[in-house]
């Protein structure tokens, strides 16, 4: 390699480069797990209860070039504050951020399951029912793998100093039931089994956030809490400030000179629909709708060409509710990040007030931004044939 090329590499400025590194303080994240299970026969039923508790660390990215020097390898929290008290950083790069991967504790989960099963029809039938409750809190939702998408898609008060809150993956309630029944319509060696599986579950949590997109470095502090726009990815990682009314002294509606009171009134309706309380929004204050699905399967076993062989025919319908009625079995959910950007945010020059405008997800008639998953909502049928050789 020519010396001039080596010199250029050795002396290349890093100010215009994205740097993703491992913090010197990084240690492999740890997890502590407690799992208890209790089984007890109760008459014709077998009852099973289980409890799972986890306390774990997560890998989180922290921006390094925040405008202040590092202390003990870690970025410091600046003294400049937004109207609601959260810090404002001072990054001066555009899409050339420097971040380090750290591990941080505090995430936790509690999962409780209660199930019961019984047999009927002299053992040829079985019924099982289970209920599961989840309480999951994490620092970062880990919804993506790159540094900027991990940093920019996880809602927090301060993404550079993440705090534990309700996980976007939590299914608070889940009820499942299975019934199987075997009959011998064609003889003792030709069993026919009917299986039905049903599930009803609560929707995933949704968090209200600010939209902070800006391509101007000079606007980072007033529109993006001082962070590089390239680091923000979807620009929806700051939990929204929730006004305590249309007359909140920390808020101007679209303009401080000529407030848009119609928008303010609509904003109050959206805030109520998302179950938000005044102040900085908590994670996961509301949820997507509940979903219900049911699957059906028939299995017919016939004798094979040899004494021990079997010929198996199966017919199954996934989401049979949608087969029975187009409006049933519909799966509705929210954005994969678990966020709705309700307000586009800007701050006045002295950082004493927020200027709130409609965010990209602001919808009075659809505040949770719910969508229908057409693929998951369709019914599907499958016919299968299998021959089992038994030697």
For the four alpha carbons of 9, 12, 16 and 22, in that order, the dihedral sign comes to: positive
Residue-wise DSSP of 3-53: HHHHHHHHT--STTS-EEEE-TT-----EEEEEEEEEEEETTEEEEEEEEE
Tell whether the model's pLDDT for residue 9 goes beyond 60.
Answer: no
Q: What is the per-residue pLDDT across 86-126, written as a single tens digit (0 to 9) for each? A: 999 999 988 889 999 999 999 999 999 999 999 999 999 99
Angle (CA) 242-218-357 rounded to 5° is 30
Q: How many CB atoms lie within 10 A of CB 12?
A: 10
- Which of 16-25, 266-275, 296-305, 371-380 is predicted least confidently? 16-25
The pLDDT, as a whole number, for residue 187 is 87
DSSP H or E stretch at residue 375: helix 374-377
Tell whether the model's pLDDT for residue 12 goes beyond 90.
Answer: no
Beta bridge partners of 315: 298, 383
Q: Is residue 300 part of a domain?
A: no
Q: Is residue 235 part of a domain?
A: yes
Over residues 31-46, the mean pLDDT reads: 97
| pLDDT tier for residue 327 given thresholds of 50, 70 and 90 | very high
Q: Is residue 319 part of a domain?
A: no
Q: Is residue 388 part of a domain?
A: no
Tell whether the model's pLDDT for residue 1 goes beyond 80.
Answer: no
- Distance of alpha carbon 362 from alpha carbon 211, whole angstroms: 10
Q: What is the per-residue pLDDT across 337-374, written as a single tens digit (0 to 9) for each? A: 999 999 999 999 999 999 999 999 999 999 999 999 99
Tell whether the model's pLDDT for residue 11 goes beyond 70.
Answer: no
Q: Is residue 391 part of a domain?
A: no
pTM: 0.89
- Which of 16-25, 258-267, 283-292 is predicted least confidently? 16-25
- Distance of alpha carbon 243 from alpha carbon 245, whole angstroms: 5
Over residues 147-166, the mean pLDDT reads: 93
Token readout for 338 is 């678990």
- Which of 88-97, 254-263, 280-289 is predicted least confidently? 88-97
Tell whether the model's pLDDT for residue 10 goes beyond 70.
Answer: no
Number of domains present in the structure of the chain? 1
Q: Is residue 80 part of a domain?
A: yes
Collapsed DSSP state (helix, strand, coil) of residue 335? coil
For a pLDDT cut of 70, what percent of the chain falls above it? 97
Token readout for 116 is 């019961």
* Mean of pLDDT over the chain: 93
Q: Is residue 311 part of a domain?
A: no
- Please give the residue range of the domain that contains residue 23: 3-169+204-288+334-360
Q: Is residue 259 part of a domain?
A: yes
The pLDDT, as a whole number, for residue 14 is 61
Q: What is the per-residue pLDDT across 159-190, written as a single tens digit (0 to 9) for each? A: 999 999 999 999 999 999 999 999 999 888 89
């Amino acid at each position: 390699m020519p010396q001039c090329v080596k010199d250029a590499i050795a002396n290349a400025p890093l100010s215009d480069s994205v740097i993703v590194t491992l913090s010197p303080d990084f240690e492999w994240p740890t997890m502590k797990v407690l799992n208890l299970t209790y089984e007890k026969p109760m008459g014709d039923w077998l009852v099973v209860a289980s409890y799972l508790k986890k306390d774990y660390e997560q890998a989180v990215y922290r921006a390094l070039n925040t405008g202040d020097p590092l202390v003990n390898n870690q970025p410091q929290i600046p003294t400049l504050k937004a109207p609601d008290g959260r810090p404002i950083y001072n990054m001066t790069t555009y899409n050339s951020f420097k971040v380090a991967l750290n591990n941080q504790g505090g995430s936790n989960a509690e999962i409780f399951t209660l199930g019961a099963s019984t047999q009927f029809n002299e053992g040829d039938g079985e019924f099982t029912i289970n209920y599961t409750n989840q309480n999951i809190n994490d620092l970062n939702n880990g919804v993506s793998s790159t540094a900027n998408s991990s940093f920019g898609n996880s809602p927090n008060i301060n993404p550079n100093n993440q705090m534990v809150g309700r996980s976007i993956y939590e299914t608070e309630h889940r009820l499942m039931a299975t019934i199987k029944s075997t009959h011998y319509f064609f003889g003792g060696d030709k069993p026919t089994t009917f299986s039905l599986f049903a599930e009803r579950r609560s929707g995933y949590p949704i968090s209200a956030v600010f939209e902070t997109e800006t391509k101007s470095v000079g606007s980072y502090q007033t529109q993006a809490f001082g962070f590089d726009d390239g680091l923000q990815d979807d620009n929806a990682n700051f939990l929204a400030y929730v006004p305590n009314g249309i007359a909140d002294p920390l808020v101007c509606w679209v303009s401080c000179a000529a407030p848009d009171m119609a928008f303010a009134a609509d904003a109050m309706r959206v805030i109520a629909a998302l179950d938000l309380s005044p102040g900085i929004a908590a994670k996961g204050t509301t949820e997507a709708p509940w979903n219900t699905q049911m699957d059906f399967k028939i299995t017919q076993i016939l004798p094979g060409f040899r004494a021990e062989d079997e010929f198996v025919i199966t017919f199954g319908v996934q989401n049979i509710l949608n087969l029975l009625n187009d409006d049933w079995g519909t799966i509705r959910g929210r954005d994969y990040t678990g966020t709705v950007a309700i307000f586009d945010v800007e701050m006045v020059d002295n950082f004493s007030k927020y200027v709130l405008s409609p965010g990209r997800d602001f919808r009075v008639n659809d505040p949770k931004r719910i969508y229908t998953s057409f693929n998951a909502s369709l019914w599907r049928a499958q016919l299968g044939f299998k021959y089992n050789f038994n030697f």
